[in-house]
Amino acid sequence: MSRIAVLKGGRSLERHVSLRSGQRVEDALRRLGHEVTGIDVGPGLVGRLRELAPDLAFIALHGREGEDGTVQELLELLGVPYTGSGPSACGQCWDKVQAKHLMRDHGIPTPDFHAFSEAAFKDLGAADALPAIEERLEFPIVVKPARGGSSLGVKFASSAAQVPGALIAAFSYDRKVLLERHVAGHDLAVSIVDGEALPVVEAVPNDEAFYDFEARYEIGRTTFVCPARLSDEDTARAQALALEAWSLFGCRGFARVDLMRDAQTGELTVLEVNAVPGLTDTSLLPQAADEAGLGFDDLVARIVELALPGVSA
């Protein structure tokens, strides 16, 4: 039995999801016989961790606070072992622009993109470059905040007239945004635990004509299929590509890699790597683990074991 602090909640936009992930993890850890304390992350975090002196911090904190590497940095400083990736991997995955540059530089295919800060538009006249970008990426274009999760602020622009509105929306979430080529095809997620790829999950929109990114998070608008409707060869390629990204960023413990498979060309591209993926009852990583024969408690036990070698339930 170990004393485990589950870090959850916080002030990020994904507080709600994080509280759900955290609660589920706490329940599992208790079933596994650990002494569990849930911590809703706030200004008292360091004091609380010092007082508690846990054997392990289980990070179920999504959004900025849990995924940009800050909490991991803090835990390193306090000497508290924690689940998942370290500060460097988290920081690089969290910023999609940084992540995509890195992938492109290392030959991991990712959809074409251009990134801009709010300042570039205000001070450098970046708006004048929009027509050239639109021509290069072709409509529809996906506009996203550079940092953020759960598809918040992600918009489609299907014409030049829609680009400013989509940019305004994305800038509501971050001061840096990217415009990305839209890939029409299979929307895939490869979950990885300890450097091993789990079965691929595919998000299938229930109404293709009106599919948007919000649909993926709304019950009833998307069906998640596992294993994905892919040939064995494509599955193997998707998993291999996901593992390449995992290694490139130096992930640890567990992560989820989101990919697209172009319906026409069959080309696979990596959209992003989630260093602290959701662990709620509708999240994709637990679904994939389940398909691989790893129930939620087993999954949580495995994640703990990876962070604290030698400790198992």
Partner 1 sequence: MRDLMALTAQPQVISLAGGLPDMTVFPPEVMAKVTAQIAAEASARALQYGPTEGLDDVREAIAQVMAAEGMTAIEPDDILVTTGGQQVIDLVCRTLVDPGDVVIAEAPTYPGAVPCFGSFEADVVQIAMDADGMRVDELEETLDRLEREGRRPKFVYTIPTFHNPAGVTMSLPRRRRLVEVARERELLVLEDNPYGLLRFEGEPLPTLYSLDGGEFVIYLGTFSKILSAGIRVGWAVAPGPVFQKLNIGKQAADLCSSSLSQLFVATYFRSGLWAEQLERFKEVYRRRRDVMLGALEEFLGPHAEWTRPQGGLFLWATLPDYIDTTDLLARALESDVAFVPGRAAYLDGRGGSSMRLNFSGVAEDDIREGVRRIGRVVREQVELYGTLTGSAAAPAERDRPDPAPQESMADVVPLPRRAGGDRARGTR
Question: Which range touches partner 1 (CB under 8 A), out of 8-16, 76-84, 94-102, 262-270?
Answer: 8-16
Contact, 253 vs 306, CB < 8 A?
yes
Cβ count near 123 (within 10 Å)? 9
Provide the 3-class DSSP secondary structure of residue 135.
helix
- Is 121 among the residues that bind partner 1 (CB under 8 A)? yes
- Is 215 among the residues that bind partner 1 (CB under 8 A)? no
Binding residue (CB under 8 A) for partner 1 from 50, 122, 136, 229: 122
- Is 14 among the residues that bind partner 1 (CB under 8 A)? yes
- Is 286 among the residues that bind partner 1 (CB under 8 A)? no
Backbone φ, ψ for residue 107 (5° rounding):
75, 15
Residues 176-195 that bind partner 1 (CB under 8 A): none
**Which residue, 127, 137, 177, 175, is CA-closest to 159?**
137
Residues 140-179 that bind partner 1 (CB under 8 A): 150, 152-153, 161-165, 167-173
217 in catalytic set = yes
How far apart, in Å, do the first and last CA atoms of the chain sit?
7
Q: What DSSP state is assigned to residue 199? A: P
Question: Which range touches partner 1 (CB under 8 A), out of 15-23, 68-76, 83-91, 305-313?
Answer: 15-23
Please name the residues in contact with 89: beta carbons below 8 A apart, sequence gap of 6 or more. Answer: 69, 249, 250, 251, 252, 275
Q: Which is nearer to partner 1, 42 or 295 (CB)?
A: 42
Q: Which of 27, 31, 217, 262 is catalytic?
A: 217
150 in catalytic set = yes
**Which residue, 221, 109, 126, is CA-closest to 171?**
126
- Is 17 among the residues that bind partner 1 (CB under 8 A)? yes
Diameter over CA atoms, the chain: 61
112 in catalytic set = no
Question: How many of the chain's residues bind partner 1 (CB under 8 A)?
Answer: 26
Cβ count near 126 (within 10 Å)? 17
- Tell me the catalytic residues: 14, 150, 217, 256, 258, 272, 274, 278
Chain contacts with partner 1 (rule: CB under 8 A): 11, 13-17, 118, 121-122, 127, 130, 150, 152-153, 161-165, 167-173
